[in-house]
């Protein structure tokens, strides 16, 4: 009887047939132990009972035929071209098959007598032919693994062929079985899951194809359950090991702020604020992800959250991913303060001569400052320098600091940081969270992470599984959805006409220039050229330019000009991707839109339609790939960010998504978080309930060992007592 935890300590090299070079190749692709090997499951199965006799294969459809190799030939009609031809026969007929430049097949086919070919059958000059079918060698094994009704096809890995892996896994299973079951039996019963030992047997070597699905379900559940257990324990650990702040949220700063707003909060904003309040009052630090579409009103919620902390005497920090955004947030917060009567109106100066005679106007009730790599400013002293401001922050003179992530990275020290809000989480990783935690000398600040990139629920349950999630799923009233159109580059004149028409009506427009190979320099140059071209094309309009290579002060000047309506058309690179809020801008033209990712396109589009006037987004694009076409079609088809995010996940696959978060969380081997979403929900519920009743899994030692062994390094610290 072997446990998975034990099998995770045995190297694949120990398996018969996998010594030496093979074990190294496998280890390189993440199959280092016997447990890993057992999770390397077949990609497909060949069902002998469903094979087509060659004489009756339907032309034009995908089939699998099984037969003997009659002949193999490697022709070289010219340099760099190999044509491999093989003839296969079964009891009914013969068929020819051809491959190009796959010379390695020659030996495989010569040594095999029985093969399965999967592909499309064509009629080629009057005879049947398969072009480049997938080849599975069936014969040549002493164990008789390929004569049963169902033959598993394990994907080749690390230079080891499918046939070889089939035999090795058979050996490994034979030695390892029976495999111990660490999952509590009541959970298996409740979820109708089969026995683990049988599941391993059935997924690798099923008797019939019908055995595969329940086996897979069982193993996928196990994988997701282990992941969710780790997340639940991590969350628990965070809660118990860190000292947070019980904010007293009964001051009147936040409520005065909210009452002073010129509009009512939406139901969703109210609900989210209640969720946040609960966290703020609680003793353990908040780790909450706030999701909401662009324009759904996250900023107001964030500011109210910060004020809750400030009214109890703590400092707040609001962090944005770029300087432009930080500056905009700073202006936004000042505007909100003025709206709520908590600060002198923007631009007011109380230093003039008049002040000697009139009553001294009150200073701002909340001291807000902006601190970025290049700018320092404060609402109680616009001319403050960086050093003075840093001193004020350290002395506790500043209530709220707005800045870039550099705020926590560049040794700014707070006297009592109580609440931190991070905008646009996808650039704020786990490492930054750790840094933030280190900022705290007394107690760990509460953390709210805002994102307008809708994260599919599948991901918020896995990648972000240790965060609590609040969702603003309602837009402020009176928004009109943005209409999106796809146009070919040759129709661009129509796009410029749309812009001219909108400007005629007093509106403004964005033109987003193509991404250039990850090079901000080249990107800036191409935006500059495009700006010139468009300025010449639309001589009657005021065309401005902004890109990442401008000095921050110049960037801010351009943005200020655009906000003030002094620029009609703003040509820009993706620096405007996040957060820019200019309600009078109603059209956006995105050039070469096929080069952008789906979530980026959606972010960009969110810059228009933010005011009372309907917005339009024109995608100028000539997609050259299916994937590009799918993305653009999705953009035209929906404005729903969550649907787009799921679509994106579907198009790109989960691997790339997992790769983008430096969480160290290993890729899932079996589960597909989109297809297995229901099982994920169940596994998460079960795991969190179990950790609630047994926080360190003390009464489930086998399970504890299994999680530690299977998730490896990333969770090791969970188990140091």
Q: Which residues bind ligand ADP (CB under 6 A)?
A: 263-266, 269, 292, 294-300, 452, 476, 581, 610
Minimum gap (Å) between residue 377 Cβ and ligand ADP: 21
Judged by CB, which is closer to ligand ADP: 420, or 710? Answer: 420
Minimum gap (Å) between residue 424 Cβ and ligand ADP: 10
Minimum gap (Å) between residue 576 Cβ and ligand ADP: 13
Minimum gap (Å) between residue 693 Cβ and Mg ion: 39
Judged by CB, which is closer to Mg ion: 544, or 579? Answer: 579
Helices (H), 350-491: 386-395, 406-409, 430-439, 457-460
Q: Of the ranges 256-264, 388-396, 573-581, 663-671, which one interacts with Mg ion (CB under 5 A)?
A: 573-581
Determine the size of the site formed for Mg ion (CB under 5 A): 1
**361 Cβ partners below 8 Å, 6+ apart?**
344, 348, 350, 355
Strand, coil or helix: 460: helix
Written in H, E and C, the secondary structure of 214-279 is HHHHHHHHHHHHHHHHHHHHHHHHHHHHCCCCCCCCCCCHHHHHHHHCCCCCCHHHHHHHHHHHHH
Minimum gap (Å) between residue 265 Cβ and ligand ADP: 5
- Identify the residue whose tokens are 């990609």: 43
Output phi, psi for 593, to 5 deg: -60, -20
Report the candidate in 365, 333, 399, 409 with the shortest Cα–Cα distance to residue 389: 399
Judged by CB, which is closer to ligand ADP: 146, or 584? Answer: 584
454 binds Mg ion (CB under 5 A): no
Minimum gap (Å) between residue 458 Cβ and ligand ADP: 22
Judged by CB, which is closer to ligand ADP: 128, or 300? Answer: 300
Inter-helix orientation angle 701-711/212-241, to 10°: 90
Judged by CB, which is closer to ligand ADP: 133, or 292? Answer: 292
**Residue nearest Mg ion (C-beta atom):** 579
Report the candidate in 41, 468, 473, 44 with the shortest Cα–Cα distance to residue 277: 468
- Pick what 269 binds: Mg ion, ligand ADP, none; C-beta below 5 to 8 Å, kind-dependent: ligand ADP
- Pick what 251 binds: Mg ion, ligand ADP, none; C-beta below 5 to 8 Å, kind-dependent: none
Judged by CB, which is closer to ligand ADP: 362, or 612? Answer: 612
Q: What would the two tokens of residue 246 be?
A: 């019980």
Minimum gap (Å) between residue 606 Cβ and ligand ADP: 7
Q: Rounded to an integer, what distance in angstroms lies between the CA atom of residue 652 and that of residue 376?
A: 41
Judged by CB, which is closer to ligand ADP: 150, or 482? Answer: 482
Judged by CB, which is closer to ligand ADP: 64, or 404? Answer: 404
- Pick what 239 binds: ligand ADP, Mg ion, none; C-beta below 5 to 8 Å, kind-dependent: none
- Pick what 263 binds: Mg ion, ligand ADP, none; C-beta below 5 to 8 Å, kind-dependent: ligand ADP
Planar angle of CA 133, 139, 142, nearest 5 degrees: 150
**Residue nearest ligand ADP (C-beta atom):** 297
Q: What would the two tokens of residue 81 be?
A: 């071209």
CB-CB contact of 618 with 485 (8 Å): yes
Which 8-state DSSP code applies to residue 21? H
Minimum gap (Å) between residue 416 Cβ and ligand ADP: 27
Which 8-state DSSP code applies to residue 360? P
Terminal-residue alpha carbon distance, the chain:
28
579 binds Mg ion (CB under 5 A): yes
The total number of residues written for the chain in this structure: 721
- Pick what 122 binds: Mg ion, ligand ADP, none; C-beta below 5 to 8 Å, kind-dependent: none
Judged by CB, which is closer to ligand ADP: 137, or 300? Answer: 300
Minimum gap (Å) between residue 499 Cβ and ligand ADP: 23
- Binding residues for Mg ion, rule: CB under 5 A, are 579
């Amino acid at each position: 009887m072997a446990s998975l935890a034990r099998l995770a300590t045995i190297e694949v090299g120990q398996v018969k047939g996998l010594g030496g070079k093979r074990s190294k190749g496998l280890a390189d692709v993440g199959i280092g132990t016997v447990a890993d090997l057992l999770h390397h499951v077949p990609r497909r199965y060949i069902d002998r009972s469903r094979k087509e006799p060659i004489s009756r294969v339907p032309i034009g459809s995908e089939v699998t035929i099984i037969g003997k190799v009659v002949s193999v030939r490697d022709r070289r009609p010219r340099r760099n071209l190999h044509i491999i031809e093989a003839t296969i026969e079964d009891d009914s007929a013969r068929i020819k098959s051809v491959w190009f430049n796959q010379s390695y097949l020659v030996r495989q086919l010569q040594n095999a007598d029985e093969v399965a070919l999967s592909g499309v059958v064509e009629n080629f000059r009057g005879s049947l032919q398969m072009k480049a079918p997938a080849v599975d060698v069936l014969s040549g094994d002493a164990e008789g693994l390929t004569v049963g009704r169902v033959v598993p096809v394990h994907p080749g890995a690390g230079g080891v062929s499918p046939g070889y892996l089939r035999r090795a896994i058979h050996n490994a299973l034979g030695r390892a079985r029976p495999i111990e079951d660490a999952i509590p039996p009541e959970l298996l019963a409740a979820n109708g899951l089969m026995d683990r030992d049988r599941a391993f047997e059935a997924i690798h070597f099923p008797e019939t194809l019908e055995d595969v699905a329940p086996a897979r379900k069982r193993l996928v559940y196990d994988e997701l359950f282990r992941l969710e257990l780790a997340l639940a324990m991590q969350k628990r650990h965070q809660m118990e090991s860190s000292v947070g702040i019980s904010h007293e949220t009964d001051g009147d700063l936040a409520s005065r702020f909210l009452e002073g707003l010129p509009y009512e909060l939406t139901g969703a904003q109210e609900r989210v604020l209640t969720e946040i309040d609960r966290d703020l009052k609680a003793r353990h630090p908040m780790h909450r992800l706030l999701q909401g579409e662009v324009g759904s009103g996250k900023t107001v919620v964030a500011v109210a959250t910060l004020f809750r902390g400030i009214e109890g005497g703590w400092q707040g920090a609001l962090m944005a991913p770029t300087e432009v955004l930080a500056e905009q947030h700073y202006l936004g917060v000042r505007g909100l303060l003025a709206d709520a009567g908590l600060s002198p109106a923007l631009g007011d100066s109380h230093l003039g001569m008049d002040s000697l005679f009139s009553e001294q106007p009150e200073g701002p009730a909340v001291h807000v400052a902006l601190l970025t790599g290049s700018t320092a400013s404060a609402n109680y002293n616009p001319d403050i320098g960086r050093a003075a401001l840093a001193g004020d922050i350290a002395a506790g003179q500043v209530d709220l600091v707005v800045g870039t992530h550099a705020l926590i990275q560049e040794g700014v020290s707070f006297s009592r940081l109580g609440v931190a809000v991070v905008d646009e989480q996808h650039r704020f990783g786990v490492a930054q969270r750790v840094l933030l935690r280190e900022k705290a000398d007394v107690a760990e600040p509460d953390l709210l992470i805002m994102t307008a990139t809708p994260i599919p629920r599948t991901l918020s349950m896995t990648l972000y599984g240790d965060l609590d999630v609040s969702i603003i799923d309602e837009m402020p009233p009176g928004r009109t959805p943005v209409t999106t159109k796809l146009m070919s580059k040759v129709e661009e004149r129509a796009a410029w006409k749309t812009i001219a028409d909108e400007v005629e009506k007093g509106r403004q427009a964005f033109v987003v220039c193509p991404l250039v190979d990850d090079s901000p320099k080249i990107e800036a140059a191409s935006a500059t050229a495009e700006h010139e071209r468009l300025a010449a094309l639309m001589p009657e309009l005021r065309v401005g330019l902004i890109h990442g290579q401008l000095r921050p002060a110049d960037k801010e000047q351009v943005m200020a000009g655009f906000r003030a309506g002094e620029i009609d058309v703003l040509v820009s690179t993706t620096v405007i991707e996040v957060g820019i809020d200019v309600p009078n801008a109603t059209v956006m033209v995105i050039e070469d839109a096929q080069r952008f990712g789906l979530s980026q396109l959606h972010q960009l589009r969110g810059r228009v339609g933010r005011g009372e006037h309907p917005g339009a987004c024109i995608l100028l694009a000539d997609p050259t790939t299916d994937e590009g076409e799918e993305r653009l079609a999705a953009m035209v088809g929906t404005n729903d960010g969550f649907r787009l995010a799921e679509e994106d996940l579907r198009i790109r696959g989960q691997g790339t998504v997992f790769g983008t978060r430096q969480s160290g969380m290993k890729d899932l081997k079996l589960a597909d978080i989109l297809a297995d979403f229901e099982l994920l929900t169940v596994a998460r519920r079960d795991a969190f309930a179990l950790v609630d009743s047994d926080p360190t899994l003390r009464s489930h030692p086998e399970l504890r060992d299994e999680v530690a062994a299977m998730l490896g390094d990333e969770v090791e610290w969970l188990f140091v007592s």
